Amino acid sequence: MSKSKILKDYFGHDNFRELQEEAVDAIINKRDLLMILPTGGGKSLCYQLPSLLMGGVTVVVSPLLALMHDQVVALRANGINAQMISSMQSLDEIKQIEQELVDGKIKLLYVAPERFTNNYFLSLLHRLNINFFVIDEAHCVSEWGHEFREDYRKLNILKEHFPNISIAAFTATATATVEKDISINLNLNNPLVLKGKLFRENLTLNVAYKVGDGKAQLLDFLKSHKGSAGIVYTLSRKSTEAIAKFLDSKGIKAKAYHAALSTEVKNRTYADFVSDKIEVVVATIAFGMGIDKSNIRFVVHLNMPKTVENYYQEIGRAGRDGERSETLLLFGTQDIVQQKSFIDDLPDNPYKKHALDKLHFMVKYANSQVCRHKYIANYFNDNINECKNRCDNCIDGSRKSVEITTEVLKLISAIARVNQSFGIHYIVDILRGSKDKRVLQNSHDKLSVYGIGKDFSKSQWLAIADRALELELVEIGEFKVYKITQKGASFLKSREKIEIREERIDIKEARARAKRVVVEDTNYNKELFEKLRELRKEIATKAEIPPYIVFSDKTLKDMSNKIPKTKDEMLNVHGVGEVKFERYGEKFLSLINSN
């Protein structure tokens, strides 16, 4: 069977997405692979499809039981024999799966990384015809990543035990440091590295200063997402329960999820969410990797995440089916103070400095007035054009700007006067005429720039400094010392006009605005879509599987747009292949033809 036929019959797609075919070919040719592809880019297909073209079994290492379970259910719904071995199963169930593995009846086996420390399991693997290994969520391998796991670090034994079997590693995010760390620690042999573009065209990104506890802003946001599934992230266990209770009191079906809850309660909440019995999960980062639900329409952060990696992973859980989705980050000064206090508790070592640097980039993102998609892409060493209409900074032309050319000149002059040898807080103290002991001891109260910025508050000067950083007029050197760039030196002569968004300078004004941008999706028959959703839910409930495994929202929207009347027309709908049609197609055709 050809690649294209498997792609259509089993996965319902007519064409590969960006980089998918290159990944499939690398695996078929038994080459090690490291693929960095944003959530929703179709990483799973890159290893599931070649497994069907190759003899033997594919062993997939996955971090969470819930993720493994959902992947197995989805594959079996597509007519692919997949299994998992985990602590959730009885000894008899595991023995049965082991026998099926030895008999060559299973195509994909999902296991957690800690199982590879078990000698019995390793001996079982040596008895199997393994075509290749898959390391999912591969950023967990790196201690410089945002979700490092010790058991992932031990996966270097795969090349020791199976030197001739290729490894395909997948992750949604990786900085250059993390990418290198993954390759080295998995002992990848001259891997093909494929990197997808970071731009998620279907995601609209919004950021606003938090007003009070953010509840009113959250409620206003949810009005435009009535009946849709979403996640609300908070920092503390206590706040997850308070927010969930608040939403429930407003008629929004919501449940809390945090690490202190029992496994039974967490599993029930997750099951209710994936089966569309509740609309919102209010969670800490405990509700993280492994959320295999394609129709999440929004992600809200009521507090600032500690890293851009965390933020990008978390917002990536929205719109995995490619449909329009929205994100909102609400933040305040207290979030920054709280995240920094967590880092301050760490022992003094390179990792602590690394964590502080990551927090700085997150703070800079929140305050930024450049394209938010472009900022994230640049962080991960990817270069994209401005999104134009998929983030609040690009689309909201009504925001007023004020000129700060003179203030930036003062800032850069102050940096020059102290020989580019101090951090930003010290420089601001000089500009504001501080009587701080260190300023006086260094005789910096005698400088011409001393006190020339006393009309601005410290927070306003820090906002001006952030703007200068964004424009690359200054940069942060070793020990957080502020340096003047070549571009900054040129600015001192040209004095080119510089502006900043009004709300970044006036915190009171910013909090009063707290605006966001909404991009609506109108390219489908909403009435028919809702009827198709109801049918999907009936089928899923009867089969005891999540609704999105029957058909994704993207498939139902395409169906409501094309309105197929025959099998051939139905097979032209996105996500409908022969296998899915045989199972569900006639029921959906019957509904469409009766309307």
Instruction: Tell me the residue type at 449.
Output: V
Whether 513 maps to a domain, the answer reads: no
Q: What's the mean per-residue pLDDT of the chain?
A: 88
What pLDDT is attached to residue 517? 55
- Mean pLDDT, residues 76-90: 89
- Out of 22-31, 391-400, 419-428, 552-561, pick the least confident: 391-400
The reply to whether 333 and 462 lie within a common domain is: no
- Mean pLDDT, residues 309-327: 90
What pLDDT is attached to residue 381? 85
User: Among 98-112, 363-377, 490-504, 548-562, which range has the highest average pLDDT?
Assistant: 98-112
What pLDDT is attached to residue 509? 44
Domain's final residue, options 130, 161, 195: 195
- Mean pLDDT, residues 34-54: 91
Whether 122 maps to a domain, the answer reads: yes
What pLDDT is attached to residue 144? 64
Domain's final residue, options 451, 476, 507: 507
- Which pLDDT band holds residue 348 (cuts at 50, 70, 90)? confident
The CATH number of residue 259's host domain is 3.40.50.300
> Does pLDDT of 27 surpass 60?
yes
The reply to whether 421 and 540 lie within a common domain is: no
- Mean pLDDT, residues 79-90: 90
> Does pLDDT of 227 surpass 70?
yes
What torsion do the CA atoms of 453, 457, 409, 333 make, to the nearest 10 degrees? Answer: 160
What pLDDT is attached to residue 360? 86
> Does pLDDT of 514 surpass 60?
no
Beta-bridge partner residues of 170: 35
**370 contacts 465 by C-beta, under 8 angstroms:** no
Q: How far apart are CA 237 and CA 577, in angstroms?
A: 43
What pLDDT is attached to residue 23? 96
What pLDDT is attached to residue 511? 40
Whether 515 maps to a domain, the answer reads: no
**297 contacts 319 by C-beta, under 8 angstroms:** yes
pLDDT tens for 569-595 read 999 998 898 989 999 999 999 999 887
What pLDDT is attached to residue 522? 60
Which is more confident, 354 or 566? 566
The reply to whether 269 and 309 lie within a common domain is: yes
The reply to whether 235 and 160 lie within a common domain is: no
All residues at 6 or more sequence positions from 502 whose CB lies less than 8 Å from its CB, including other chains: 399, 400, 401, 402, 509
All residues at 6 or more sequence positions from 354 whose CB lies less than 8 Å from its CB, including other chains: 144
- Mean pLDDT, residues 308-327: 90
- Out of 240-249, 425-434, 457-466, pick the least confident: 457-466
Q: Judge residue 212's burial from the number of C-beta atoms within 10 Å of its C-beta, 0-12 exposed, 13-18 middle, 19 or more buried.
A: exposed
What pLDDT is attached to residue 70? 81
Whether 514 maps to a domain, the answer reads: no
Which is more confident, 212 or 196? 196
- Out of 278-282, 291-295, 478-482, pick the least confident: 291-295
> Does pLDDT of 221 surpass 80?
yes
The reply to whether 367 and 244 lie within a common domain is: yes
What pLDDT is attached to residue 519? 56
> Does pLDDT of 398 surpass 70?
no
Whether 512 maps to a domain, the answer reads: no
What pLDDT is attached to residue 508? 47
- Which pLDDT band holds residue 520 (cuts at 50, 70, 90)? low
Whether 365 maps to a domain, the answer reads: yes
The reply to whether 48 and 130 lie within a common domain is: yes
What torsion do the CA atoms of 524, 232, 379, 33 make, to the nearest 10 degrees? Answer: -70
How many domains is the chain built from?
Answer: 4
What pLDDT is attached to residue 19? 93
Expressed as residue numbers, the domain containing 164 is 3-195
**282 contacts 243 by C-beta, under 8 angstroms:** yes
The reply to whether 167 and 130 lie within a common domain is: yes
The CATH number of residue 573's host domain is 1.10.150.80
The reply to whether 489 and 573 lie within a common domain is: no
The reply to whether 212 and 312 lie within a common domain is: yes
The reply to whether 263 and 174 lie within a common domain is: no
The reply to whether 340 and 411 lie within a common domain is: no
Domain's final residue, options 143, 170, 195: 195
Residue 356 dihedral angles phi and psi, to the nearest 5°: -65, -40
| DSSP letter for each residue of 161-190 | H-TTS-EEEEES---HHHHHHHHHHTT-SS
Given strand 203-209, what is the order of strands in its sheet?
203-209, 325-331, 296-301, 229-233, 280-283, 254-257
pTM, to two decimals: 0.70
- Which pLDDT band holds residue 505 (cuts at 50, 70, 90)? confident
Residues above pLDDT 70, as percent of the chain = 95
> Does pLDDT of 401 surpass 90?
no
pLDDT tens for 463-504 read 899 888 878 899 888 888 999 999 999 999 999 999 887 777
- Out of 171-175, 215-219, 223-227, 520-524, pick the least confident: 520-524
Residues above pLDDT 90, as percent of the chain = 55
The reply to whether 323 and 366 lie within a common domain is: yes
> Does pLDDT of 230 surpass 90?
yes
Whether 520 maps to a domain, the answer reads: no
Whether 275 maps to a domain, the answer reads: yes
Which is more confident, 174 or 454? 454
What pLDDT is attached to residue 513? 43
